[in-house]
């Protein structure tokens, strides 16, 4: 195994030294060409990815530089030490893709998906290549915490199998939410939906204790319409900047500068995020065409990135409500060191809430508020790993002090990060960690099995209503 990584390092280290944007431009282009994408289209996707990585890095630099002075003053005035900077998802993707291990994890997940398709253990072809980083970072974190590559690989494969099965389980619900026919091919293997089992537990508790609240549920589209620009990304940026500036005791000039900077950055996060999706579209199409030729007409679901469901207003209404809740939780939550910045628009949280509750807005907000601490604690836990890796691959934001740590508030897969931590520490032979890890993995599997049964019952109901 180590020989494979040594070979990968000898091949990829010269590319890594070019920087994240050139590296990913080259890698994405080559992979697309392998799947017989036309050279111009393959290069177009590669360049778009390089541009997106460069753009998001620039925005993160602006945001973190603007907030660094205010955050220092905030800590001094309040004594609340939220000293880990939330840089959002894109820098973490850059950091993860800067490791040759990520390409290795991509390879084993492609092989796993092909084997499961061949054995008819899944009907989903995962073409969401870029977002393999969400799973890869779990393996990388396990290695950082002490696991060897073999153990980290087993963990990635274990989660990967469940992730692919989950895409099959969710497919009828996506049809329902999109009002789409059965032959709609769209589903997703995105890591944020691995929160579904935990959300399902809370949803069942809601059924037992608070079912009467459903009578007061309201239409998310109407809520968004009534909120108007007050719930927009730039408005949330304004609130965030004013709030932090006031807590830091800054002058009105500095407060407004901070507010407008945050507003610009949150708007641009969304814009540049769409560039990543456009960048991998040629590769996704190439993989789809390849599979159609090889699978001889078998009906296959296509695992896409999560935003194909982003037209549902509940996602955005819930995110708007959860933003101030997250900010308050971050300040008062014991053990949290993160102040929400780049991740305050909770896209790592709300899509799974939509699927499990099927758009019941009150449930989405209540359950979302209850589960947010998991994300804050997870982001705090992995900050040393993220910071050290960012510096190693040259992706540490230039506007921050070298002594500052970075992470992401609402990074997908918080429970999986805890599993990576346990598996890594278990590998060092501590008996307590061995026991904790076994218990955690068994609990993780059992709750998924229970969730799968609930989803199969739901899917049977869908089938019987046709």
Euclidean distance between CA atoms 387 and 398, whole angstroms: 13
The answer as to whether 255 is a domain residue is no
Euclidean distance between CA atoms 243 and 258, whole angstroms: 10
The answer as to whether 229 is a domain residue is no
Total domains present in the chain = 1
The answer as to whether 223 is a domain residue is no
Contacts of 406 (CB under 8 A, 6+ apart): 64, 84, 85, 86, 87, 91, 383, 386, 387, 390, 396, 397, 400
List of the chain residues with pLDDT < 50: none
The answer as to whether 232 is a domain residue is no
For CA atoms 126, 127, 131, 132, give the dihedral sign: positive
Helix (H, G, I), strand (E, B) or coil at 126: strand
pLDDT score for 2: 59
DSSP-derived secondary structure for 261-328: HHHHHHHHHHHHHHHHHHHHHHHHHHHHHHHHHHTTT---EEEE-GGGGTT-HHHHHHHHHHHHHHHH
The answer as to whether 205 is a domain residue is no
pLDDT score for 282: 81
The answer as to whether 444 is a domain residue is yes
pLDDT score for 293: 73
The answer as to whether 243 is a domain residue is no
Q: What is the pLDDT of residues 337-351, one digit of tens each?
A: 988 877 777 778 888
Residue-number span of the structural domain to which 95 is assigned: 1-199+270-465
pLDDT score for 237: 74
The answer as to whether 224 is a domain residue is no
Average pLDDT, the chain: 81
Q: What is the pLDDT of residues 413-433, one digit of tens each?
A: 999 999 999 999 998 878 888
């Amino acid at each position: 195994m180590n020989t494979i990584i040594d070979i990968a390092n000898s091949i990829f280290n010269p590319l890594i030294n070019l920087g994240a944007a050139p590296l990913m431009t080259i890698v994405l282009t080559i992979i697309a060409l392998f799947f017989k994408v036309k050279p111009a289209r393959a290069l177009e996707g590669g360049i778009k990815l390089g541009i997106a990585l460069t753009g998001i890095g620039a925005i993160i630099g602006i945001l973190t530089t603007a907030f660094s002075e205010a955050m220092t003053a905030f800590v001094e005035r309040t004594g609340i030490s939220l000293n880990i900077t939330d840089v959002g998802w894109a820098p973490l993707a850059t950091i993860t893709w800067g490791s040759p291990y990520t390409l290795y994890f991509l390879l084993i997940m492609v092989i796993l998906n092909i084997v499961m398709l061949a054995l008819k253990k899944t009907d989903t072809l995962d073409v969401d290549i870029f977002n393999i980083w969400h799973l890869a970072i779990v393996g990388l974190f396990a290695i950082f915490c002490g696991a060897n590559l073999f153990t980290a690989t087993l963990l990635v494969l274990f989660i990967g199998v469940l992730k692919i099965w989950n895409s099959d389980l969710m497919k009828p619900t996506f049809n329902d939410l999109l009002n789409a026919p059965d032959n709609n091919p769209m589903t997703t293997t995105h890591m944020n939906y691995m929160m579904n089992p935990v959300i399902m537990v809370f949803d069942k508790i809601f059924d037992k204790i608070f079912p009467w609240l459903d009578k007061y549920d309201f239409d998310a589209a109407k809520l968004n319409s009534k909120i108007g620009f007050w719930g927009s990304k730039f408005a949330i940026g304004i609130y965030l900047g004013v709030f932090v500036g006031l807590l830091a005791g800054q002058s009105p000039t500095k407060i407004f500068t901070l507010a407008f900077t945050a507003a610009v950055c949150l708007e641009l996060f969304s814009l540049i995020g769409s560039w990543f999706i456009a960048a991998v579209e040629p590769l996704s199409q190439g993989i789809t065409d390849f599979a159609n030729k090889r699978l001889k007409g078998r009906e296959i679901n296509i695992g896409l990135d999560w935003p194909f469901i982003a037209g549902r207003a509940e996602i955005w209404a819930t995110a708007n409500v959860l933003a101030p809740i997250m900010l308050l939780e971050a300040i008062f939550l014991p053990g949290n060191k993160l102040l929400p910045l780049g991740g305050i628009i909770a896209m790592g949280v709300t899509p799974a809430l939509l699927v499990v509750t099927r758009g019941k807005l009150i449930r989405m907000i209540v359950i979302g508020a209850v589960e947010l601490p998991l994300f804050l604690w997870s982001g705090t836990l992995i900050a040393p790993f993220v910071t050290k890796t960012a510096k190693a691959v040259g992706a540490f934001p230039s506007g921050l002090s070298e002594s500052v740590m970075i992470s992401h508030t609402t990074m997908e897969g918080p429970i999986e990060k805890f599993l990576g931590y346990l598996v890594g520490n278990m590998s060092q032979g501590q008996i307590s960690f061995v026991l904790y890890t076994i218990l955690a993995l068994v609990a993780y599997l059992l709750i998924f099995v229970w969730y799968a049964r609930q989803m199969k019952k739901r899917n049977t109901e869908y089938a019987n209503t046709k």
